[in-house]
Chain A
């Protein structure tokens, strides 16, 4: 069953002169995990807020779970879960009281279900701890528990892993996968490139515009018109300025201890090696590599 749960059409939000979201159109199907990738301030949060009826769009339309976001936000809110960037928890309430409160406002009172929700995020033992005493990773999981306690069909996660260590991030994504396996649909914003790779489809936002939305593989294949190379040469800064002069090279950047070059397909390995050699650089090594989403993102940002 393929059913569209989110559909936006030229969705736009302006704050005065500033256009936070600029004519964004996309669709999300039931059971998908869609990543929304972009730097801070690119319009990810504003998009989610519009989809939940927290902000009114300046123009454009959107439907979520079949309801119009302008006229009918309440049923959307009832059937959606939302985890905001700030992990909206009450610091002076315990883990259990936080969950009980958010469950209560959705009229969920079954204690067994609350316990099961805590188990699912692995926080049964922390039930009596005060929210303010929790480390960020636990706060994040409690916020997720609060967002899913009413068993929503659709989950909006706004930068759920910011400020969380890599291990906790991994655990968190496993949880999201579990939920999606059970039939939930998730829209997750992030500015971590590696996280975006976990998503079935990724939308790339920049300055309010949705530049592309597709599977990571297709983005790498279609958006990136060229080849990625790992290049080693010393000194690195000289190498960058030399490589940037080569016709057909789109982008040269540092990537760990080596350089990463995106160049048109016509630029061959021998050309790159030749250029570096004639510039008198040492330790030259050039090898083709598979591009990452970061390469896609950066090359989109160049246009």
Chain B
């Protein structure tokens, strides 16, 4: 039994070694995903192009524009002299937001009245628009408050904290709300899922395409030996990938690893059972490598979207939330995020871990049963 298993594992390793291009992809893809998603898939806004239509042209209006551009969120790219010009800039996408300062801005401000300013946002990308909107309001309020304070000081009422309510907010675990913190643990899950499920499905379907599976079936190899023997090399590769993503994630993106690494790898192993199971199941259905890819991809897409990788599950319609319970990646996402960012121990995530383990066992059992030693 050990001999048979060893033979299969050795053969798989030789085959992996003989295909340096695939091996290279396996090593490089996670790094690529990490950098792409770590930087590109972000809701942070920075340097949003802003056009300014200043009708007041006073010292006060210039200091307001300064307040906006100081905050790094916005970058003034152009001063326009008509509303049409502003519109064109936004239509062509040269500017995303427009700041409108009415002619009586400084007059109202100095008269102690509420001065109004206009803020136009290109809403075609809602996520940028929302963040830009809230930043614009925050900056405006802060600026208004500072003017008010200044005025009160001038009137001899400085130092009095006149704000009736003060809301102190505190953000835990990811105080600067860095998207990378959220993304990197998710990428670990995605990489493990794609690598193991696609590669296992392919490596088995390839045996079928070449006709070697028929030869393997007439040997004394047992189905589980075959499954295990094929899995071991890819599990090792997947763990190397995990280490790789975690290393770059923490060194480059500064993602904290607060929980125990042993738990991270151990529970990643549990998750691997589910993605290997999916890969195996796909291989029992598919007869060509393309088909296997399509099947895995069919599972992969909803997994990514419903696992909470990009979008919070709580915000989804009820039906999708129910469906998400059937997606193993969902449990792993919340486990790995909790482990890395919150540094929790096993008790805090035991429900997710239990469900994930059940999924893994179930999938592997179904796959092994379907993986019979027959051709029909």
- A101 CB within 8 Å of chain B: yes
**Residues in B neighbouring A73, C-beta threshold 8 A:** 373
- A234 CB within 8 Å of chain B: no
CB of A75, distance to nearest CB on chain B (Å): 9
Taking a contact as CB atoms under 8 Å apart, the answer to whether B220 and A55 are in contact is no
Taking a contact as CB atoms under 8 Å apart, the answer to whether B218 and A105 are in contact is no
CB of B184, distance to nearest CB on chain A (Å): 35
* Interface flags, A246-268, vs B, CB<8A=1, else 0: 00000000000000000000000
CB of B229, distance to nearest CB on chain A (Å): 9
- B126 CB within 8 Å of chain A: no
Question: Which residues of B from 214 to 251 have beta carbons under 8 Å from A?
Answer: 214-221
Question: Which residues of A from 83 to 112 have beta carbons under 8 Å from B?
Answer: 84-93, 97, 100-107, 109
**Residues in B neighbouring A107, C-beta threshold 8 A:** 3-4, 220
Residue in A52, A74, A101 whose beta carbon sits within 8 Å of that of B11 in the complex: A101
CB of B10, distance to nearest CB on chain A (Å): 7
Given A52-B218, A106-B220: A86 and B210 within 8 A (CB)? yes
- B107 CB within 8 Å of chain A: no
Taking a contact as CB atoms under 8 Å apart, the answer to whether B375 and A104 are in contact is no
- B43 CB within 8 Å of chain A: no
- B6 CB within 8 Å of chain A: yes
Query: Roughly how many angstroms separate A27 CA and B219 CA in the complex, as a whole number?
Result: 24
Query: Roughly how many angstroms separate A86 CA and B218 CA in the complex, as a whole number?
Result: 14
Which of B14-22, B131-139, B294-302 lies at the binding interface? B14-22
- B374 CB within 8 Å of chain A: yes
**Residues in A neighbouring B220, C-beta threshold 8 A:** 74, 77-78, 105-107
Question: Which residues of B from 174 to 228 have beta carbons under 8 Å from A?
Answer: 210-212, 214-221
Given A92-B18, A93-B15: A53 and B373 within 8 A (CB)? yes
* Interface flags, B109-152, vs A, CB<8A=1, else 0: 00000000000000000000000000000000000000000000
CB of A269, distance to nearest CB on chain B (Å): 51
Query: Roughly how many angstroms separate A90 CA and B16 CA in the complex, as a whole number?
Result: 12
CB of A101, distance to nearest CB on chain B (Å): 5
Query: Roughly how many angstroms separate A88 CA and B213 CA in the complex, as a whole number?
Result: 8
Taking a contact as CB atoms under 8 Å apart, the answer to whether B3 and A90 are in contact is no
**Residues in A neighbouring B375, C-beta threshold 8 A:** 49, 54-55
Query: Roughly how many angstroms separate A109 CA and B214 CA in the complex, as a whole number?
Result: 22
**Residues in A neighbouring B374, C-beta threshold 8 A:** 53-56
Taking a contact as CB atoms under 8 Å apart, the answer to whether B19 and A92 are in contact is yes
- A82 CB within 8 Å of chain B: yes
**Residues in B neighbouring A106, C-beta threshold 8 A:** 219-220
Taking a contact as CB atoms under 8 Å apart, the answer to whether A105 and B14 are in contact is no
- B59 CB within 8 Å of chain A: no
Residue in A86, A93, A103 whose beta carbon sits within 8 Å of that of B211 in the complex: A86
Query: Roughly how many angstroms separate A102 CA and B221 CA in the complex, as a whole number?
Result: 10
**Residues in B neighbouring A109, C-beta threshold 8 A:** 3
Given A77-B218, A102-B219, A109-B3: A90 and B211 within 8 A (CB)? no
- Could you tell me the dominant secondary structure of chain B's interface residues? helix
CB of B13, distance to nearest CB on chain A (Å): 11
Query: Roughly how many angstroms separate A84 CA and B7 CA in the complex, as a whole number?
Result: 21
Residue in A85, A88, A92, A104 whose beta carbon sits within 8 Å of that of B10 in the complex: A104
- B8 CB within 8 Å of chain A: yes
Taking a contact as CB atoms under 8 Å apart, the answer to whether B11 and A54 are in contact is no
**Residues in A neighbouring B217, C-beta threshold 8 A:** 54, 77
CB of A17, distance to nearest CB on chain B (Å): 15
**Residues in B neighbouring A105, C-beta threshold 8 A:** 4, 7-8, 216, 219-221
CB of A11, distance to nearest CB on chain B (Å): 15
Taking a contact as CB atoms under 8 Å apart, the answer to whether B14 and A93 are in contact is yes
Taking a contact as CB atoms under 8 Å apart, the answer to whether A104 and B7 are in contact is yes
- B84 CB within 8 Å of chain A: no
- B166 CB within 8 Å of chain A: no
CB of B3, distance to nearest CB on chain A (Å): 5
**Residues in A neighbouring B6, C-beta threshold 8 A:** 104
Query: Roughly how many angstroms separate A290 CA and B176 CA in the complex, as a whole number?
Result: 96
Name the residue of chain B whose CB is nearest to the CB of A98: B11
Query: Roughly how many angstroms separate A142 CA and B216 CA in the complex, as a whole number?
Result: 16
Question: Which residues of A from 119 to 145 have beta carbons under 8 Å from B?
Answer: none
Which of A73, A87, A104 is the most central at the interface, judged by chain B CB atoms within 10 Å of its CB?
A: A104
* Interface flags, B1-40, vs A, CB<8A=1, else 0: 0011011101100110011000000000000000000000
Name the residue of chain A whose CB is nearest to the CB of B4: A105
CB of A73, distance to nearest CB on chain B (Å): 8
Query: Roughly how many angstroms separate A90 CA and B215 CA in the complex, as a whole number?
Result: 11
Query: Roughly how many angstroms separate A91 CA and B18 CA in the complex, as a whole number?
Result: 10
- A12 CB within 8 Å of chain B: no
**Residues in A neighbouring B7, C-beta threshold 8 A:** 100-101, 103-105
Name the residue of chain A whose CB is nearest to the CB of B1: A107
Name the residue of chain A whose CB is nearest to the CB of B375: A54
Taking a contact as CB atoms under 8 Å apart, the answer to whether A97 and B210 are in contact is no
Query: Roughly how many angstroms separate A78 CA and B219 CA in the complex, as a whole number?
Result: 6
**Residues in B neighbouring A82, C-beta threshold 8 A:** 215, 218
Residue in A53, A89, A92, A103 whose beta carbon sits within 8 Å of that of B15 in the complex: A92
**Residues in A neighbouring B376, C-beta threshold 8 A:** 55-56
Residue in B14, B212, B219 whose beta carbon sits within 8 Å of that of A77 in the complex: B219
**Residues in B neighbouring A74, C-beta threshold 8 A:** 220
- A153 CB within 8 Å of chain B: no
* Interface flags, A37-81, vs B, CB<8A=1, else 0: 000000000000100111110000000000000000110011010
8 pairs of A and B residues whose beta carbons are closest in the complex: A104-B7, A88-B215, A86-B211, A88-B212, A92-B18, A105-B219, A107-B3, A82-B218
A77-B217, A80-B218, A86-B214 given. 13 additional CB < 8 A pairs? A54-B375, A56-B376, A88-B216, A90-B210, A92-B15, A93-B11, A93-B14, A102-B219, A104-B3, A104-B6, A105-B216, A105-B219, A107-B3
Supply 10 A–B pairs (Cβ within 8 Å), ascending by A.
A52-B218, A84-B215, A88-B210, A88-B216, A92-B18, A101-B7, A104-B4, A105-B8, A105-B219, A109-B3
